[in-house]
Chain A
Amino acid sequence: MKVELCKVVRGCRLGVWTGFGQQHSLELPGCLLYTRCATVPHLTQDTLHTLSCLPTVTQVTLDSLAEHHEVLEEFQEGVRKFAGLHDTAVFCSLHDPATTCPTGHVTNKTVSVWGSGGRIEMTVAKFMAMQALIQPDCYQSMADGDTWQTNTSRKRVRKAVDRTLAHLDECLLLHHKTALKNTAVFGVVEGGDILEERVRSARETAKRPVDGFVLDGFQSPAMEQELRGQLITAVTAELPLEKPRLLQGVGRPDQVIACVEAGVDLFEGFFPFQVTERGSALCFQYSVTPDPEDAGSPPPTVLEINGERPAVEHPKENEDGNPETITQFEMNLKDIRYREDFRPLVEGCDCYCCGNHSRAYVHHLLVTNELLAGVLLMLHNTAHYLGFFRALREAIKREQLQELKTAVTTVDLRGRK
C-alpha cells in the first residue's frame, strides 16, 4: 500500500492512497468516516447511503469496541461483518476523537480506553489481541498520547515518545506473528509541543517498517495553530513521501487547511458529529468558483448581510475546546431566528435534509427534543464536510488554496455554498 502523489503545492500533497483493504483507495487529502461502535452516529445504512461519495475508509475506535471483545471473539469474523458495514475498509484507532479521555491513566506497559462500562486497561498483548478480533484493514499501534494538556513537562513528553516507540516495536513483533501480517500498521508520532521530541519521534518511527504515520497529541485546543503547523511541518519533513500521514483530533476546516499545508494527508471525520450534537448545521463556504450572482457586487462582510446579524456575535477561535461552543462554521438551529425560516439548511446542498426539509422543521425537531434532528443534521453535516474536502482537493489542484481559505473563514449568513 502506498500514496501515489500527483502534485505537491506549497506543502500540500494531492494524491491517492491505494493498496489497502479490498482494492480500496482514498483521495488525499481526505477524511475517514467517523463511527461509534462501528455505526455512523444516528444513522442506519439506509439513511447513511443517501450520502454520495462516502469515504472508502471507516474509522472504528478501541474506546467503543474494547468492551465487546467477548462477542467479537465468539463471532470470529471481525467488526466489519459484525456491524453489517457496507463495502468499506476499516481503520482502527485507539481513542474516539470526539471525546476527551481522562488523563493520568497511562503506565509504562499499559494504556486505557473508556467504554460504556468504564475504563479498560490494555497491554500491548491485549491491544494486539483486540486487533486480531476486530480484523481491520489498517490500525495504529499502541501509543502514549497523554501529553496534550498544557504545561506537560519535558520529561513526561520524552517518556511518551519512548513508550510509544517501545509499544510500536512490540506491536510489530506480534503483528508479524499473527494473522494481522497482511493488515497495515501505522506508527504513532508523539512529542507534545516540544520540537526536538517531535523530530526524534518522527525519525525513530520512520525507521520502523510501518505502512503509515499517525500524528498524535495535537488535539489540544490550547495549542495555537501556528505552533501546530510548525511542529507538523517539522515532523512530516522526517517522514517518507510515499506513506500516508493521519492527523488525529483536528477537524475544524481552517485548521484542516493549515495542517494540509504542513504535510498532512488524512483527518478523522468527527467534526460533523460534534456540530450535530450541539444542534448546529455546517454552513461555511467552500466554493471558490465565482458565483455569477455575485458578479459586480462586493464580497459579503461579516455583519449585516441582508439585515441579519451573525449567528455568532463575535466569531472566535474555539479556544476553550468546549464541544458546546458554536464555531463560525455553523449555524445553531436551536436559535429562535430559524423558527420561521423555510429555506433549506444550505442553498444548493444536495443532502437528504436540504432536499426534503427546512430550517424551521429542524429547529422544531431540536426544540421538541426529537431524535430525527440528529439524523438530519448528521446527514447534512457529513455531506457538507465531505464537500469541503472535495473542494480542498480541487483547490490544491488548481492552486487556489488562498481563495479557499478566504471562503472558509468568511462568515456568510446567506448560507450558500
Chain B
Amino acid sequence: MSLDVNNDIRLQRFLTAIKYIFIYISSLLQKAFLKNTSWYNSRGVTVNKTFKMAAPVAEGATCDHLPSDMAAAKSIASAAPLALRVLAECPVSKARACILTLPHGVVNTPVFMPVGTQGTLKGVTVDQLEDLGCQICLGNTYHLGMRPGPELIEKTNGLHGFMNWKRNLLTDSGGFQMVSLVELSEVTEEGVKFRSPYDGREILLTPEQSITIQNSLGSDIMMQLDDVVSSTVTGPRVEEAMRRSIRWLDRCAAANRNPHRQNLFAIIQGGLNAELRKACLDEMMKRDVAGFAIGGLSGGEEKDDFWKMVTLSTDHLPRGKPRYLMGVGYAVDLVVCVALGCDMFDCVFPTRTARFGSALVPWGSLQIKQKQYAKDFQPIDPDCQCATCKRHSRAYLHALFKSDTAAMHHITIHNISYQLTLMRSVRESIIEQRFPEFVASFMKRMFPSRQQYPGWAVDALASVNITLD
C-alpha cells in the first residue's frame, strides 16, 4: 500500500480524526453488544464489530493509490477485513516485523502457519494449539470439500465452528492437491477437471467453486485458485499457467460472497522465469487484493533459482500488504526468506516429520526412533519450553514409539513449538534491530562449520547485505 501520508499532513490529520471518531462510536456499540456475543463466539460466528466500525486503517488501509477524501472515507467504511501494520524493518535486509489484524484476531509476523489439512492438526487439540501460541493455521479446501463437504460445514458456522478453532484460518484453493494428488487431472480455462478418489466421479473445480467452498468454510484468508505448474516445467505452459492464474484471480474476486469478512490473496506465478514473474506481479498488483502469495516454488527446483524468484517478488510487492511464501517450512528457508522480505509461511513438514519420530532442534533434527536415543535421558532440546521437553526424555519417547500414538503427539507438539519459537525469535530480533546478528548465530548453531552453510543461503543473504563469515 502506498497511502503516502508523510507527504500530506492535512490528509493525515483528516484520516486520524475519522479514525478516532469511529473508534469512539465502536466502543459505545461494543459495550452494548458485548453481552450477546459470547453465545455467537462459542458457536464460531464471527462478530466483527471492530472491523465494521473502526478498523485501524489509517495505518494500513489496503488502497494502493493516494485516495481522494471520498475514497478515503469509503475505504475505511468498507472495512477491509485485514490490516497490516509494519512495526519494524531491518535496516540491512528486507526483513520486517508486522502486526496483521484479521477477523479472528491478531497475527504477529513473520509467522509460520501449521497445517491442519482435514480440520484438525494431527493429534493435537485446539487448546494445545492455542497454548503453543499459534494465531493462524491452515485448512485444506480440497480435502474438506470432499469430506465432510461445504454444506455440512456451513451448518456449523464454518470451519471455525466445526473444529472449534477460535483464531484465524487460512484455506488454500484446492488447486495444488488436485494437481499433485489426483491422477489424470486436466486443466482447462474453465477449471481443473479430475476424478474423485472417493467415488470415481468426474469433478470440475472452477475458480468460482473454489471460492464458494472457501466462503462456506469461512476462513479469514482465502487463496485464489491458480493454475499450478511444477517449477521444473519449462516452455510455453509456464506462461499459459501464469496468464490463466491472472484471469482466475479476477473470477475468484468476483465470486467472493463475503468480501467484508474473508480476505482473498492472489498467488504470483511465472515459474523460474524472471520476466514472467515480473509480468505476473505487474498485472496482479493492479487488483485490489488483501495480500499476495508467492506460489509455484518449493516444489523441487534448485534452491539457487528459488531464492531469486522470491526476492524478485518481494522487490515489487507492495510494502503495506502481507507476503505469503507458500510451502516453505525448513528452518533455514524460513530465516532466509524472512530476510528476503516474506511475512507468512506454511508447510506440512514439521508436523509430518514428527509422526515419523523426527524432532526439530536448533542444530538440525533428531531421529528419536534411532537406537542412539534409547538411553538418552535428556529432553529433545534442553532449552525448549514446550510441554514435551519439560516432561519427557528422548529415551522415553523412543520407548513409547513402540507402543502408542501419544509418542507422535509429543513430537508434533515439540515441532510446532520449535517453529513458532523460531519465528518469535526472528521477529524479536527484527524489532530490536539485530536481525543480521540473529541470522549469523542461527546459522552457526545449525551448521557444524562455515563450509557447510548451504551456498544458496549464503548468496541469498548476501544479496540483502547480510554477510556470513
CB within 8 Å of B: which residues of A? 36-37, 39-47, 50, 64, 67-68, 70-71, 74-75, 82-84, 115-117, 339-340, 342, 352, 356-358, 360-361, 364-365, 367-368, 370-372, 374-376
Contacts and interface: CB of A to CB of B under 8 A. Distances in A.
Nearest to B399: A68
Interface in B119-134: 119-128, 131
Contact of B388 (A41, A44, A50): A44
A153 B392 CA distance: 47
A71 B148 contact: no
B55 interface: no
A340 B164 CA distance: 16
Interface string B375-413: 101000000000110011101100110111111111001
A372 B403 contact: no
Nearest to B43: A342
A206 B119 CA distance: 56
Contacts of A68: 399
B365 to A, nearest CB: 20
B347 interface: no
B162 interface: yes
B406 A43 contact: yes
A204 to B, nearest CB: 35
A39 B400 contact: yes
A14 B387 CA distance: 38
B316 interface: no
A59 to B, nearest CB: 14
B375 A70 contact: yes
A75 B377 contact: yes
Nearest to A67: B402
B147 A368 contact: yes
Interface residues of B, number: 43
B147 A370 contact: no
A41 B162 CA distance: 25
Contact of A361 (B131, B163, B395, B406): B163
Contacts of B367: none
A374 B162 contact: no
Given A45-B387, A360-B156, A370-B120, A36 B148 contact: no
Given A36-B403, A44-B413, A84-B392, A342 B155 contact: yes
19 contacts: A39-B406, A40-B406, A41-B404, A41-B406, A42-B404, A42-B406, A44-B406, A74-B375, A75-B377, A82-B395, A356-B125, A361-B156, A365-B120, A367-B147, A368-B143, A370-B122, A371-B122, A372-B124, A374-B405
B458 interface: no
Contacts of B387: 44-46
Closest 9 CB pairs of A and B: A371-B123, A37-B403, A116-B402, A84-B391, A372-B120, A36-B403, A368-B118, A36-B404, A84-B392
Given A36-B404, A361-B162, A374-B405, 18 more contacts: A39-B403, A39-B407, A42-B406, A46-B131, A74-B375, A82-B396, A83-B396, A115-B402, A116-B403, A352-B127, A358-B156, A361-B156, A364-B119, A365-B120, A368-B147, A370-B122, A372-B121, A372-B123
A70 B371 CA distance: 12
A306 to B, nearest CB: 20
A295 B155 CA distance: 33
Contacts of A352: 125, 127
A83 B407 CA distance: 11
B390 to A, nearest CB: 9
Nearest to A96: B403
A339 B148 contact: yes
A357 B125 CA distance: 10
A68 B405 CA distance: 18
Contacts of A357: 164
A213 B261 CA distance: 64
Interface string B398-437: 0110111111111001000000000000000000000000
Nearest to A77: B377
B396 A84 contact: yes
B152 interface: yes
Given A84-B392, A358-B156, A361-B162, A375 B400 contact: no
A106 to B, nearest CB: 24
Given A42-B409, A46-B128, A368-B118, A71 B399 contact: yes
B450 to A, nearest CB: 37
B45 interface: no
